[in-house]
Amino acid sequence: MLKWILFLCFLVQIDCRIGCKGLTGSKVDWFIVYKLPAGEKNANQGKAFLYVDSKNPQWALSKKDIEDDSVAVGATVKQIYKREPTAFHLMYSDDGPNTKADSYRGHSKGVLLFDSSTGFWLVHSAPNFPPTASYAYPASGVKFAQTFMCVSINTNDLGNIGDQLRFIQATPFDQNLPAKFATRFPVLRNVVAKQSLPQSATVFTSVKHMKTVDGVVIHSFAKHKKFQKDLWHDLVAPEMGTNLAVQSWLNGGAADLHSVCTSQYSVYDMKTVTVPDLTFNSSKDHSKWAVSDTERVPLVCVGDINRQKSQLSRGGGTLCIQSVPLWKTYRSTVSVVEPCKTNGIDHWIYFLVILVTSFFILGI
């Protein structure tokens, strides 16, 4: 059936390949959705969202809301409900719909759908999402801001994605693994069976560099619970060689990791976020994303794990894109960050002291 559909699409020149769908419902190479928190201006009771994609990297407020299955997230996920038997799909979440929250396995949420040539990987922060029968947006994901990042990927990279999901310890709650996919990508058997790394494993992080269908490089970071460190400060920052400002959920019962500044890399927790016509506190934001501090490494990441001590012993990951236009959009979104402390002194004061001292000692 799928082959006949593709043939028909070829005849009428319609792109029927599986992939991310944008604001018009047409295929896009990648997109990011920032669902706004309830109670804010233009937030439509927490159902409005901002949107950027591969062709339009500046924030645009969607005319339709997150519940609409004809745009962006809804249009993308809706492709799964066709239940094409020859396509591979996977929904995974530590807090899926109609399931008990899993605090042992990875703190990760995502959706995959692939045919024999292309597909999409959607990573997100929304609890109880998506439903397994038909598209809807859960009431539990309305109050706080949430993020969704979709990338259209060639099916050849499914093995790499499967490897990342093993490190993360993703928790599947709905899937279809056709025999051809299981044979071509054996790691998917492990993922569907919730089989993580072997007991003999000694490496607990994984970094994969892949490309979207249109050739944009994406960086996938994954950590296993045995890594026992922060994804952002101890993996992403050193791997990419840049400081980061990170927005993550800091309202949990565990202690926060707080901003960390070292001689090598600094990672700052965001306190306030600013988007067009709206500023809101991080406490209203359940999303997990990061942006670098320099255009030299124009990095934007969207993921699924927080900067709290309890998350050190959880698997998790993030997807990152390097794009100057997108970086400028996200860099302007950083409003207020938590300063680092160095021996009780705010880090910026400490830096100023060092700079003044260097001026007098070295004459610079």
Under a CB-based contact definition with an 8 Å cutoff, are residues 151 and 121 in contact?
Answer: yes
- Return d(Cα 27, Cα 356) in angstroms, integer: 53
Under a CB-based contact definition with an 8 Å cutoff, are residues 125 and 333 in contact?
Answer: no
Strands 316-322 and 260-261, bridge-based pairing: unpaired
310 residue type, one letter: S
Q: Which residue, among 225, 94, 249, has the nearest Cα to 168 in the 3D structure?
A: 225
- Return d(Cα 154, Cα 43) in angstroms, integer: 35
- Return d(Cα 122, Cα 111) in angstroms, integer: 5
Sign of CA dihedral 125, 127, 133, 135: negative
Query: Helices (H) and strands (E) in the chain — how many of each?
Result: 9, 22
Under a CB-based contact definition with an 8 Å cutoff, are residues 105 and 304 in contact?
Answer: no
**Choosing from 107, 219, 233, 286, which is the catalytic residue?**
286
Under a CB-based contact definition with an 8 Å cutoff, are residues 51 and 60 in contact?
Answer: yes
Q: What are phi and psi of 237, to 5 degrees?
A: -60, -50
- Is 286 considered catalytic here? yes
Q: How far apart are the first and last CA of the chain?
A: 71
- Return d(Cα 58, Cα 60) in angstroms, integer: 6
CA separation, residue 339 to residues 221, 269, 312 (Å):
26, 8, 21
Under a CB-based contact definition with an 8 Å cutoff, are residues 107 and 314 in contact?
Answer: yes
Helix (H, G, I), strand (E, B) or coil at 218: strand
Exposure of 55 by Cβ count < 10 A (0-12 exposed, 13-18 middle, 19+ buried)? exposed
What residues are labeled active site? 286
